Amino acid sequence: MELILQQAPIVIRSLNIGFLQTLKLFVITLIGALPLGLIISFGSMSSWAPLAFIGRNMERKNGRATAASRFFTGFCPISLIVKIIVWVFRGTPLMLQLLIIYYFPGLVWGNPIWGSGESGRFLASAVAFIINYACYFSEIYRGGIQGVPRGQQEAGQVLGMTKGQIFFKVTLLQMVKRIVPPMGNECITLVKDTSLARIIALQEIIWAGQAFLKGSQGISGAIWPLFFTGVYYLIFTGVVTLLLGWLERKLSYFRA
Amino acid sequence: MKKLTKILALVLALALCVALCACSSGGSGTPASTGSSLDEYKDKDGNLPTEAPEGTEAPEGTETPEVVETAEATDSQYVKDKGVLIVGITDFAPMDYKDENGEWIGFDADMAKAFAAHLGVNVEFVEIDWDNKVLELDGKTIDCVWNGMTLREEVLNSMECSKPYCNNAQVVIVPVDVADQYQTADSIKDLAFAVEAGSAGEDMAVDYELNYTPVKSQADAIMEVASKTSDAAIIDSLMAAAMVGEGTGYENLTYTVGLNSEEYGVGFRKGSDLADMLDQFFAASYSDGTMIECAETYGVQAALIAQ
């Protein structure tokens, strides 16, 4: 116990530095992934079918829908591409994505675009996290948007609102409220997922805690700093949970 | 509504394109990317002749016959053009570790600084995940691995290595209270071991036909013994001296029998000419005494190998 007290100032300082990286990655990921997720969700809902006229012509000629005509009418390239991207990023481990995004340019193109220092590692991690989380967010957004009853849009039309007004003032407004609980889930997961970035040697808090096992700044063979990082995560997720609860209360409009 | 989503979808497609372009252009603009790749020089010739960083190398490369040469430049040339030798390390006393001011010191760190000065470039230390050292080298995010690296077969196969410069051994870590029972190589046969995956310790466990569990790092291996999930661990003697015994977090662990002797070397990219240059540098600094002096500073002179 005495030993721990002696080590505490050095360890805490080092963990704080690591935690700052964790926090930075968390904030940057949210800032990037929240809007990107919305864009991706629009992409996956896109019903732009450039070949639909071919299918319609075929139907008119044959008098009925065939497999080929259904293919042409239902072929939505943007939606298809976006869905494949989402599948790839949700379907592979984030740890693998980090490794590929960081090492691929140098290995294959011979040009390490990210740079080798801490900032390059952070940039690569941020890109991997933003894309990965945007894919998850996009599905939550899609669920939220499609979960708003169709009648709401029709009511907007009856009231003579433009399409833009209907989307922003009716659909989006109700969507935001609906997605807070699932988004909260993702945010909490993100807090802990930041620790995956240590695989490309981003010196976040787990890395900082582990350093004392092997020996760092005159302390070696100390296990407690690694376990102690759990306290940081708990406090962090606690604060995030409170914020989400507050947000949910703020958004409880429309409810009598 | 349908039309709106259509427009939004187009915006999305554009935004994605712009985002991707921004990524790549932003990336190739970073100073670390002064690559030896032919394409890059072509780019500079074609579009940004005045913006070539530091001026000197890129214009030389513009003369057509030399472009090919630049692309196939030696590794030492690549490092010199870049102006910095990036050394991949882990925090590992007494080889590479931080002093109170956060400066990297240690026997390896000091020798790396001296070697970089000899090459006429700056030195930059980058902490890496030890499992990814070959990836980091080949991906050019580091230029060498200089961190008390045991010259094992896998290392020799995947890197261009210097001659050995330091001796090391793999030792067995056991709890102090049972240490006297395990002083010989025969006595340890029945123990359950923890070893770092892909380490020299794992090689020993295989050679001695021990019953072992591979774990992520040497530190994890020690933690296994401390928490009694394994009976014993095999780690480097230099690390064992720093990590267990009096004054560490593992006061009730100690190290007993040494299983082998092995040697430390420095690893470069496969085919790099820097390994030879380092051998010459080691020989020179060994004969003028600076290497021994440096070793004495960090208490590793006994392990030093004559160059």
pLDDT range class, residue B33, cuts 50, 70, 90:
very low
Q: Which pLDDT belongs to residue B147? A: 92
Indicate if B170-260 has the same CATH topology as B78-167+264-303: yes
> Is pLDDT of A94 > 80?
yes
CA angle A83, A112, B156 (to 5 degrees): 115
Q: Quick check: helix, strand or coil at residue B93?
A: coil
> Is pLDDT of A81 > 70?
yes
pLDDT range class, residue B34, cuts 50, 70, 90:
very low
pLDDT range class, residue B100, cuts 50, 70, 90:
confident
Yes or no, beta carbons of A78 and B126 under 8 Å apart? no
Cβ neighbours of A45 in B, within 8 Å? 5, 9
Which residue type, as a one-letter code, is found at position B49?
Answer: P
Higher-pLDDT residue of B13, A195: A195
pLDDT range class, residue B290, cuts 50, 70, 90:
very high
Cβ neighbours of B243 in A, within 8 Å? 214-215, 220-221
Which class in CATH covers the domain with range B78-167+264-303?
alpha beta
Residues 6+ apart with CB under 8 A from A246: none
Pairing label, strands B144-150, B253-258? unpaired
Given a contact cutoff of 8 angstroms between Cβ atoms, the answer to whether A130 and A28 are in contact is yes
pLDDT range class, residue B191, cuts 50, 70, 90:
very high
pLDDT in tens, A100-114: 999 998 888 888 888
pLDDT range class, residue A252, cuts 50, 70, 90:
confident
Q: Which pLDDT belongs to residue A32? A: 97
> Is pLDDT of B89 > 90?
yes
The percentage of residues in chain A with a pLDDT greater than 90, rounded to a whole number, is 60
Q: Which pLDDT belongs to residue B5? A: 59
Map out the domains of chain B as residue ranges: 78-167+264-303, 170-260
pLDDT range class, residue B185, cuts 50, 70, 90:
confident
Given a contact cutoff of 8 angstroms between Cβ atoms, the answer to whether B301 and B292 are in contact is yes
pLDDT in tens, A7-32: 899 899 999 999 999 999 999 999 99
Cβ neighbours of A225 in B, within 8 Å? none
Domains of chain A, first to last? 2-249 (1.10.3720.10)
Q: Which pLDDT belongs to residue B101? A: 85
Q: Which of A220, A223, A224, A227 to mutate to test the interface with B (most CBs of B within 10 A)?
A: A220
Q: Which pLDDT belongs to residue B9? A: 60
- What is the average per-residue pLDDT within B93-117? 90
Listed by number, the residues of chain B in 29-48 with a beta carbon closer than 8 Å to a beta carbon of chain A are 30-33, 35-37, 40
How close, in Å, is residue A246 to chain B by CA atoms? 31
pLDDT range class, residue B13, cuts 50, 70, 90:
low
Q: Which pLDDT belongs to residue B56? A: 41
Q: Does B100 touch chain A (CB under 8 A)?
A: yes
Left (φ > 0), alpha (ψ -120 to 50) or beta: where does B102 sit?
left
**Greatest mean pLDDT range, B61-70, B199-208, B284-293:** B284-293
- What is the average per-residue pLDDT within A199-226? 84
Q: Which pLDDT belongs to residue B198? A: 81
Mean pLDDT, chain A, integer? 91
Q: Which helix (H) or strand (E) holds B89?
A: strand B84-89
Q: Chain A: residue nearest B126 by CA? A: A117
How close, in Å, is residue B197 to chain A by CA atoms? 15
Q: Which helix (H) or strand (E) holds B266?
A: strand B262-268
> Is pLDDT of A72 > 70?
yes
Cis bond upstream, residue B94 (ω within 30): yes
Q: Which pLDDT belongs to residue B48? A: 40
Q: Chain A: residue nearest B1 by CA? A: A163
Query: So what's the ipTM on this one?
Result: 0.73
CATH homologous superfamily of B170-260:
Periplasmic binding protein-like II (3.40.190.10)
Yes or no, beta carbons of B28 and A113 under 8 Å apart? yes
> Is pLDDT of B2 > 50?
yes
Supply A111's token pair: 């040009």
Q: Which of A126-130, B70-74, B125-129, B138-142 has the lowest mean pLDDT?
A: B70-74
> Is pLDDT of B52 > 60?
no
> Is pLDDT of B287 > 70?
yes
For helices A2-45 and A205-214, give the axis angle rounded to 10 degrees.
Answer: 150
